[in-house]
Chain A
Amino acid sequence: MSEKPKILYCHCAYSRAVPKEVKMEVLRKLSDSGVNFEAVPDICKLSAEKSPVLKDFAQQEDLHIIACYPRAVKWLFKSAQAPLQQQKIANMRAQQAQEIIDQVMEK
């Protein structure tokens, strides 16, 4: 069995809520690093659709989520019946791209 990627990146594709330069830099750095990761267009949309994909992510305790405010992300997952456990959440609305990358790559 292959190991699941430990990073989930949210592209916040349908709005400008997340600063474009931050999300683009984060995505570029993840992509260039060659690390395995999951990238979703929009966690909000998955939550509204109650997508079972969120349940899969919620079951991975060591997943590092890169999205927005942790309080929002926590309740977006919960409202899709996919409560998070102890997953760490990096916030592209409040943190710098490099800080996030250092955090998820555990530098």
Chain B
Amino acid sequence: MTVTFYQNEANDLDKKYSALCDLLQHGHHVTCTSQTQALQGSSIVVGEFAGDFPQDVEQLSCPIVDLSETPQVMSKLEQSTEKPWKPWFPVIDYDRCTNCMQCMNFCLFGVYGLSNEQKLQVQTPQNCKTECPACSRVCPEAAIMFPKYKAGPINGDEVSEEDLNKEKMKVDISSLLGGNIYDALRQRSERAQSRFAKERDEDRALKERKRCLKKLQKDLDIPDEVLNSLPIPKHLLDDSSE
């Protein structure tokens, strides 16, 4: 809901700031204005009036919250009991994207789709797994951003040559689907496995595979929840007795 905050010189600055923080934190868009004309069409007006409303305000048909009488602005507004969705989803930089579709093939959650012109699109952002930036790592062009991610260039910071050359930017799409990741794991644990073969210690071989998988998971920053919904762990377990 859009709230109009009517500001004037009489505002108690602490009260005003605290009301703004509360409104924003509860998901309200706030227009702060000192122009009474801007109040027309508001869904709700907040201000400090001490019961003495200017004529333009008095004539409004929408609800008015007077902070001088109701310091807790949220007590007058409807509050949702649902936990808000953290808006976490991929954002495509079309200056970089080559429409190779690797991200779409990689994502198991139906976040991506194609436009009528067969152009890659983020179609269902709500399906994206919070905190999982894995598809940005499969994009060979570093074209996928997660604006709330901690580090660049995934957070939207400029892409450097160095970023493009980073090995983790080039994880093949089949990796987490059990193809190349399996080879990668095999290579990574080659030395350990030959030792295990001698020792015929399958438990240790399995442990090593799990350790390698954990390492890749850490490199790619993939949350457990996402990894568990991919076929790899079972695949690895099934293969561990090879």
Complex Cα distance, B145 from A73, in Å, reads 10
Q: Which of B11, B37, B87, B91 has most A Cβ within 10 Å? A: B87
In the bound complex, residues from chain A placing their C-beta under 8 Å from that of B122 are 79
Residue interface bits B140-170, CB-to-A below 8 A is 1, else 0: 0000010111101001111000000000000
Complex Cα distance, B175 from A43, in Å, reads 33
CB-contacts of A46-94 with B (<8 A): 47-48, 53, 68-73, 75-76, 78-79, 93-94
Contact of A53 (CB < 8 Å), options: B17, B29, B126: B29
Contact of B148 (CB < 8 Å), options: A37, A44, A71: A44
For chain A, the count of residues having a C-beta within 8 Å of the partner chain is 42
Complex Cα distance, B1 from A40, in Å, reads 10
Closest to B146 in A: A72
The DSSP consensus for interface residues of chain A is mixed
Complex Cα distance, B25 from A2, in Å, reads 27
Q: Is B16 an interface residue (CB 8 A)?
A: yes
In the bound complex, residues from chain A placing their C-beta under 8 Å from that of B20 are 27, 31, 39
Q: Is B92 an interface residue (CB 8 A)?
A: yes
Closest to A72 in B: B156
Complex Cα distance, B155 from A68, in Å, reads 9
Q: Is B198 an interface residue (CB 8 A)?
A: no
A34 touches B17 (CB 8 A): no
Given contacts A38-B30, A48-B126, contact A15 B148 (CB under 8 A): yes
CB-contacts of B36-90 with A (<8 A): 37-38, 84-89
In the bound complex, residues from chain B placing their C-beta under 8 Å from that of A5 are 31-33
Given contacts A34-B9, A68-B156, A93-B155, contact A79 B92 (CB under 8 A): yes
Contact of A15 (CB < 8 Å), options: B26, B86, B156: B86
B87 touches A71 (CB 8 A): no
Closest to A44 in B: B87
In the bound complex, residues from chain B placing their C-beta under 8 Å from that of A27 are 17, 20-21, 24
Q: Is A36 an interface residue (CB 8 A)?
A: yes
B145 touches A36 (CB 8 A): no
Complex Cα distance, B30 from A41, in Å, reads 9
Complex Cα distance, B33 from A1, in Å, reads 13
Chain A proximity of B117: nearest CB distance (Å): 14
In the bound complex, residues from chain A placing their C-beta under 8 Å from that of B28 are 41
A17 touches B147 (CB 8 A): yes
A78 touches B94 (CB 8 A): yes
Q: Which of B25, B30, B32, B89 has most A Cβ within 10 Å? A: B32
In the bound complex, residues from chain B placing their C-beta under 8 Å from that of A24 are 21
In the bound complex, residues from chain A placing their C-beta under 8 Å from that of B94 are 75, 78
In the bound complex, residues from chain B placing their C-beta under 8 Å from that of A42 are 27, 87
B89 touches A41 (CB 8 A): no
What residues make up the interface of B, taking CB atoms closer than 8 Å to A?
A: 2, 7, 9, 11, 13, 16-17, 20-21, 24-35, 37-38, 84-89, 91-94, 122, 125-126, 145, 147-150, 152, 155-158
Known: A30-B32, A36-B35, A37-B32. 6 other contacts (CB 8 A): A27-B21, A38-B30, A69-B147, A72-B147, A72-B156, A75-B92
What residues make up the interface of A, taking CB atoms closer than 8 Å to B?
A: 1-3, 5, 11-15, 17, 24, 27-28, 30-32, 34-42, 44-45, 47-48, 53, 68-73, 75-76, 78-79, 93-94
